[in-house]
Amino acid sequence: MPASMARNIRLYRWFRFFQSLVFWQAVWFLYFQSTLSPAEAVLLYAVYDVATTALEVPSGYMSDRLGRRTTLIASGVTGVAGAALLASGDSFLLLAAAQVLIGAAMAFSSGTDSALLYESLAAADREAEIEQQELTAWRFSFAALALSALTGGLLYRLDPTAPFWAGTLTGLVVLALTLAFRDPPQKTDEALEPLSQLANLRDALRNPVLAWLFALSMAMYGFSHLPFVFGQPFILDALTKAGLAAEAPVVSGAVSATMMVISVAASLFAPRLRTQFGLPAILLLAFALQIALCGILALSDSVIVIAFLFLRMVPDSLSRPFLIARVQTLLTSGSRATYLSLQSFCGRLVFAATLYLVSTAMAGPKEMDHADIQTVLGWSVLVGVVIFGGLALAARRVPVEPD
């Protein structure tokens, strides 16, 4: 058993690497908008988020009940099918079906991957390595995102479907890696019946630290993805005004690649900042950076502002590994994936509802312009400031920092 757990730990970073080779990350909106209207393109992302949301908690229960490996295999299968359908689909319904499959793949993986890592470390008596192992996996993931973003933009220039076919191939590698995993042992005294699960979740949500981290995670999910959804139309609008619209796919890919490289660099300084300032301070700093970026994108449509998108993933580098590590230590293996899925479920639900409202307000076939982006992001900043204030006040009374 220790040998198989050590193998899980070694393979995990490569699993995250190939899982993060998302070649369409920088061109998906351009691809959808070239076939559909901007409103339908936004709605397609909402479809993905709704599908992920609907399966988040069931997939977490499946993970706790049937095992981490089985759930990750389901993620690999649906991910490959979704990528292939994105490449071959040519209508809203087919693309929506592909988004449902991609959403299912994300839901099956969400929480289960982190649970597999922590429980493998625990089985090998290496729980103390959790923050470092999460950071290592994070760096592998962001290196892959950087590589695939730039490559995807170039592939899009050759053929708009090429990034999705490339994603299908890397999805097969991910599936092969999941087949090589082995399930960590679970404690036999941790019941997995539905009523026991609900009791565990209720107790977890009553924990002040978990409640604070839950609220922060929900807020940071939305503010991390706002520039992801509206960054591509922002780039296209800015380049169009500069007479460079044809370069939007390559520029978008270069921006995403640079974004990921900077985030990896930021992760190298993250442990020092976390030690120097403490956990609540670095988490709130990361959230403040997300809000500030949305504000900058709302204020100006200048080509120069595109450079600020380089910083989009820095807040995640400064927060996600530490946040996940802190949550893991407060949960039991019998409900760990279910809790993490519920946390993701709530964040996605709120964000999907927001995107739906945005899509209904964007009638007409015209491409999204800065006025549309400014309205959405301007209101988002106001909401973010209010949330930040509430979390900062609560952090003074909640022992977020572990003893």
| Residue 403 forms part of a structural domain | no
| Residue 402 forms part of a structural domain | no
Question: pLDDT tens, 218-268?
Answer: 899 889 888 877 877 788 778 887 777 777 777 877 887 888 788 888 888
Q: Identify whether the C-beta of residue 15 lies closer than 8 Å to the C-beta of residue 174.
A: yes
| Residue 136 forms part of a structural domain | yes
Q: Which of 28-37, 156-165, 167-176, 331-340 has the lowest mean pLDDT?
A: 331-340
| Residue 336 forms part of a structural domain | yes
The whole-number pLDDT of residue 189 equals 44
Indicate which CATH number applies to the domain containing 321: 1.20.1250.20
The whole-number pLDDT of residue 187 equals 56
Mean pLDDT of 52-79: 85
Domain tally, the chain? 1
The whole-number pLDDT of residue 41 equals 80
Mean pLDDT of 28-32: 82
| Residue 187 forms part of a structural domain | no
The whole-number pLDDT of residue 366 equals 55
Mean pLDDT of 63-79: 90
| Residue 95 forms part of a structural domain | yes
What's the whole-number average pLDDT of the chain?
Answer: 84
Mean pLDDT of 359-375: 68
Q: At what angle do helices 208-241 and 38-66 cross, to 10 degrees?
A: 150
Question: pLDDT tens, 166-195?
Answer: 999 999 999 999 999 998 886 544 445 554
Confidence of residue 165 (pLDDT cuts 50, 70, 90): very high
Domain that holds residue 237: 2-178+192-395
* CA distances to 130, 314, 373, 385 from 300, in Å: 41, 21, 10, 19
Q: Which of 8-22, 224-238, 375-389 has the lowest mean pLDDT?
A: 224-238
Distance CA 352, CA 346 (A): 10
The whole-number pLDDT of residue 333 equals 63
Distance CA 260, CA 311 (A): 9
Q: Which of 80-89, 111-120, 339-348 has the lowest mean pLDDT?
A: 339-348
| Residue 400 forms part of a structural domain | no
The whole-number pLDDT of residue 385 equals 96
| Residue 401 forms part of a structural domain | no
String of DSSP letters for 351-373: HHHHHHHHHHT--SSSPP-HHHH
When comparing pLDDT for 298 and 29, which is higher? Answer: 298
**Which residue carries 């299908």 as its tokens?**
168
Nearest to 347 by CA among 232, 237, 213: 213
Confidence of residue 334 (pLDDT cuts 50, 70, 90): low
When comparing pLDDT for 162 and 55, which is higher? Answer: 162
Question: pLDDT tens, 119-153?
Answer: 899 888 888 888 889 889 988 988 898 888 888 88
Q: Identify whether the C-beta of residue 245 lies closer than 8 Å to the C-beta of residue 315.
A: no
- DSSP letter, residue 397: T
The dihedral over CA atoms of 373, 26, 60, 352, expressed in degrees to the nearest 10, equals 20
